[in-house]
A = this chain, B = another copy of it.
Amino acid sequence: MARHHVTSRDVAERAGVSRTTVSFVLNDVEGTKISDETRQRVLAAAKELGYVPHAAAQVLAGQRTRTIGLAFPRAPHHLPTHFFLLQVMDGLLRVVQQHGLRLLIDSPDDGRSARSYLNLVRAKRIDGLIMLDPRSDDRALRGLAEDGFPLVLIGDLPGGDISSVDVDNRAAARNAVEHLLSCGHRRIACITNAPLSSYTATEERLLGYRDALEAAGIAYDDALVRYGAYTPQSGFNCMTGLLNDVRLLPTAAFVASDVVAFGAMSAIQRRDLRVPEDIALVGFDDVPLARFVNPALTTVRLPATEQGRLAGKLLLELILNQLEVSRRILLDTELIVRASSVPG
């Protein structure tokens, strides 16, 4: 079977009409008069032949690609526990499928060449782009937006004027740390979700931590801050480092990522210390496993799926309505208190 791709010409011949008519019928073109009988003939012929328009030809002939891109930086070892990506995809895929779109993934190494998404745009492969965790030093991204290319960020890029769906990381982190403070903790460590690179979220969460301390009149201590790197192992290592220095020994830790927090929790328990009695723990993200670990993890719930869904809808508006106004959506977070911060 399937030797020769069935083209609209084949359909036309079979229906005894011109290719133009086939196109008019199949695309339901407004303002064209086609007799009902002819229309049925064309429809029947198309069905019988199993006609599927050649995507590339459709695109070339000056239509939309009906494809959107999802770009995310790929830091080493990040992907295998990238819950956030999964949840975003979950929300996004729903929108994409609903509108008959296709999703093209672009995930460059987190190196210099981190702009392969540009090629997608330049080669006209996608109608719009959703960018996860944009780098603040990404100039090309701002250029794209200025050129009016449909672009939605999940995360933030300060200073630009780009549509985005984000949360207030700083306030959320502050709130989480204030919870620990209200439990009476004074020596509170911080383990970040990632190295202080060019991603803003990490920095914002760290700032929120400092905000809370400052408001409580507690001096910021550099030695209590450790830099995780996406993985549980990194959290394990950071926490082990903290535990090794007895002078530091915190009574609580704010970990800016649940996945990293799982590692930290493990490190504590390996030392036969208890969570939360010896060290209380608060995470960030509320990944689906947070309530099932032992003890259940107190954390900041992020509306990840919703971010994906909204980013998709927003992008669609940008693509269709050509509305050049950029819209920034800020979603709410919620502190979910569980057993890792308050003793049962």
Q: A-side interface residues toward B, CB under 8 Å?
A: 1-2, 5, 50, 52-57, 59-60, 65, 67, 70, 74, 79-83, 85-87, 89-90, 93, 97, 102-109, 116, 119-120, 122-125, 143, 147, 231-232, 236, 259, 262-263, 265-266, 269, 288-289, 291-294, 296, 305
Contacts and interface: CB of A to CB of B under 8 A. Distances in A.
Contacts of A294: 265-266, 269, 293-294
Contacts of A87: 79-80
B74 A79 contact: no
A119 B259 CA distance: 37
24 contacts: A1-B143, A1-B147, A53-B123, A54-B60, A54-B124, A55-B59, A56-B60, A57-B60, A67-B104, A79-B89, A80-B83, A80-B90, A80-B288, A85-B86, A102-B105, A102-B106, A103-B106, A105-B105, A232-B289, A232-B291, A232-B292, A236-B292, A262-B293, A289-B289
A98 B104 CA distance: 17
Contacts of A93: 74, 79, 105, 107
Nearest to A69: B102
Contact of A55 (B2, B123, B265, B291): B123
Contacts of A259: 289
A198 B155 CA distance: 39
Copies in the complex: 2
Contacts of A293: 262, 266, 293-294
Contacts of A263: 292
Given A80-B83, A81-B86, A103-B104, 14 more contacts: A52-B123, A56-B57, A56-B65, A56-B125, A70-B105, A82-B86, A85-B86, A89-B105, A97-B107, A103-B105, A104-B104, A231-B288, A289-B289, A293-B294
A253 to B, nearest CB: 15
Contacts of A266: 291-294, 296
B124 A55 contact: yes
Q: What 6 A-B pairs come out closest when comparing CB atoms? A: A56-B59, A52-B122, A55-B123, A266-B292, A79-B90, A232-B292
A262 B85 CA distance: 21
A145 to B, nearest CB: 12
A97 B72 CA distance: 13
